[in-house]
Amino acid sequence: MFRGVRVRLTLWYTGVLATVLLVFSIGVYSALGTSMRQRLDDNLRSATQVTSLALNHETEEHGGREAGEANVRLVLNTMHQTSFPRPAIAVWDGSRLVAEKPGTAGLPGATLAHKTDIRASTSFSTLRNSAGSYRIATASVWVPSISAHYQVIANESAEPIEAGLASMREILMIFVPLCLLLAAAGGYFLARKSLKPVLLMTQTAEQISSHNLEQRLSTGTSRDELGLLAETFNRLFARLQEAFRQQRQFMADASHELRTPLSVALTATQVNLQVRNQNARELYEALEVVQSQLFRLRRVVEDMFMLVRTDNGMRDLTVTSFYLGEVILDSVRAAKVLGDVRNVRVTSSIMREACFIGDEGLLRQLFLILLDNAVKYTPHGGNVDLALRAAGDEYEIQVSDTGCGIAAPDQPFIFDRFFRADKSRSRRDPGAGSGAGLGLAIAKSIVELHKGELKLEHSGPSGSMFSVRLPCPAIEAETPSVSSPASGVMQH
């Protein structure tokens, strides 16, 4: 799988190195060539300059053209022995060869074409023939003491330079590909070594399925990028594992909740079907049992459906603007009916002018769940109170009771699905809620859909208090279309 990446990395690495080596080689090669040619030209220029000086000096010193030229021949001979043995030098006077020296690395001066035009500076040219290539320096000399023009031509073979550059080319031709080959092999090895942890991670990740989500990737010892990647994946696996655990738990709890009423209804039906000529009264009672279990089933299924739709983001809010106090008051009235049955006093203090934008139906369900729980878990003669007030840019609703409270170890789990602190009592006495442990989970999801927060403020033997915080609507124009009630706090 990673072969492509390894090859691509190696190619990139080798490509970059090839470019660097090529630029470097061309630079070194041309710098070396230029410097060698420059040195040859300097040598030739010096030779022509010394010869020109000799021409001037000797003709002046010996007071005549012939004597001077004879001495120049001697000087050239000395130059051949000492300072400039390599270049061949020839001195021309028009078409007459005045003096020459052979040189160890030049063509005989007499064989070279000469010019008679006067030029101040030395000019250079290259001659190539079967013997090789030669560099030629030509200088025109004006000798004022005898009013004569001379031309000095110095030449030297450029073959040593060409040979040096040729061997340099050969070295580079071997060195550059060899370097590239070694670099490519090294690059491939390094790419392979650095991608190995990724390969291991892939292999482990491929083995992880819903059955072994507890398995984790090795993060290695160093906290480098790959270690961080492995840690990130491990956190993802941990979240997946938790999600799977919750889903399995939900399925197990849901099956359990559905199985119980189904078994009761089935048993009631079977028992009555077995008795021939069962009397009408017993049949009626059996039907009542079946009906109550079916109601319970319907309630559990509806609650589960509501939670699943909220989880999947399929729950659309029917958003309207309304007075929160009105909605709460309706729920309080319903709770009062339940309270009357259980001899529990339900009171409220509500800020009635609280405008709100949200799903009225869902909020009604939320307050009913909280009030129903409060009444349900409060013993005879107890009190339940609901307070609505504004707190900054939020509305705070507190539902408190003087009930049995929730044991401290159970408190962290009360918002979990299907959680019941006192299972036997909940099932025995389902009241208005499902009694399946879904009420607070639904309440929490309703509050979260409205970007609010639901908390258990405190709970103990003297009672519990739940608080709901809902953000106030931001737009002032969104006032409810219902007629405005009198402002202030209403006590019920």
Chain residues binding ligand ADP by CB under 6 A are: 373-374, 377, 401, 403-406, 414, 419-422, 426, 433-441, 464
Q: Give me the least distance between CB of 422 and ligand ADP, in Å please.
A: 5
For residues 109 and 437, which CB has a smaller minimum distance to ligand ADP in the complex?
A: 437
- Rounded-to-integer distance, Cα 234 and Cα 218, Å: 9
- Rounded-to-integer distance, Cα 227 and Cα 55, Å: 83
For residues 56 and 373, which CB has a smaller minimum distance to ligand ADP in the complex?
A: 373
For residues 351 and 368, which CB has a smaller minimum distance to ligand ADP in the complex?
A: 368
Q: Give me the least distance between CB of 384 and ligand ADP, in Å please.
A: 8
Q: Give me the least distance between CB of 436 and ligand ADP, in Å please.
A: 6
**Closest among 128, 76, 132, 130 to 105, alpha carbons compared:** 132
For residues 191 and 368, which CB has a smaller minimum distance to ligand ADP in the complex?
A: 368
For residues 385 and 401, which CB has a smaller minimum distance to ligand ADP in the complex?
A: 401
Q: Give me the least distance between CB of 375 and ligand ADP, in Å please.
A: 9
For residues 229 and 465, which CB has a smaller minimum distance to ligand ADP in the complex?
A: 465
Q: Give me the least distance between CB of 329 and ligand ADP, in Å please.
A: 20
For residues 160 and 431, which CB has a smaller minimum distance to ligand ADP in the complex?
A: 431
For residues 156 and 372, which CB has a smaller minimum distance to ligand ADP in the complex?
A: 372
SS3 letters for the chain? CCHHHHHHHHHHHHHHHHHHHHHHHHHHHHHHHHHHHHHHHHHHHHHHHHHHHHHHHHHHHCCCHHHHHHHHHHHHHHHHHCCCCCCEEEEEECCEEEEEECCCCCCCHHHCCCCCCCCCCCEEEEEEECCEEEEEEEEEEEECCCCEEEEEEEEEECHHHHHHHHHHHHHHHHHHHHHHHHHHHHHHHHHHHHHHHHHHHHHHHHHCCCCCCCCCCCCCCCCCHHHHHHHHHHHHHHHHHHHHHHHHHHHHHHHHHHHHHHHHHHHHHHHHHHCCCCCHHHHHHHHHHHHHHHHHHHHHHHHHHHHHHHHCCCCCCCEEEEEHHHHHHHHHHHHHHHHHHHCCEEEEEEECCCEEEEEHHHHHHHHHHHHHHHHHCCCCCCEEEEEEEEECCEEEEEEEECCCCCCHHHHHHCCCCCCCCCHHHHHHCCCCCCCCCCHHHHHHHHHHHCCCEEEEEEEECCEEEEEEEEECCCCCCCCCCCCCCCCCEEEC
Q: Give me the least distance between CB of 377 and ligand ADP, in Å please.
A: 3
CA atoms within 13 A on the CB side of 296: 25
Q: Give me the least distance between CB of 433 and ligand ADP, in Å please.
A: 4
Q: Give me the least distance between CB of 430 and ligand ADP, in Å please.
A: 7
Residue type, 208: I
Q: Give me the least distance between CB of 317 and ligand ADP, in Å please.
A: 22
Q: Give me the least distance between CB of 313 and ligand ADP, in Å please.
A: 22
- As to burial, measured by CB atoms within 10 angstroms (0-12 exposed, 13-18 middle, 19+ buried), residue 138 is buried
- Tokens 């021939």 belong to 276
For residues 48 and 400, which CB has a smaller minimum distance to ligand ADP in the complex?
A: 400
For residues 353 and 416, which CB has a smaller minimum distance to ligand ADP in the complex?
A: 416
Q: Give me the least distance between CB of 382 and ligand ADP, in Å please.
A: 10
